[in-house]
Amino acid sequence: MQYDNSDNSGIVKLIEAQKNLNEVYFVCFTNKRNESYRKTLEETLIKNADTIKYLRIGWNPTTKILSHLVNLISLDISVSLSIVKNWSNLERVSLPFL
The answer to whether residue 82 is domain-embedded is yes
97, part of any domain:
no
Q: Which H/E stretch holds residue 16?
A: helix 9-17
Residue 3 falls within a domain, yes or no? no
Per-residue confidence (pLDDT) for residue 65, from 0 to 100: 92
What's the domain range around 62?
A: 9-90
Strands, E, within 1-98: which ranges? 23-26, 54-57, 74-77
State the pTM of this model: 0.79
At 53, the amino acid letter reads K
- Tally of domains within the chain: 1
Would 2 be classed as within a structural domain? Answer: no
CA–CA separation, 18 and 1 (whole Å): 15
CB-CB contact of 96 with 75 (8 Å): no
Higher-pLDDT residue of 54 and 33 is 54
Distance CA 70, CA 31 (A): 30
Alpha-carbon gap, residue 65 to 83, rounded angstroms: 20
Residues 28-51 have a mean pLDDT of 82
Longest distance between any two alpha carbons in the chain, whole Å: 37
Is the pLDDT reported for residue 55 higher than 70?
Answer: yes
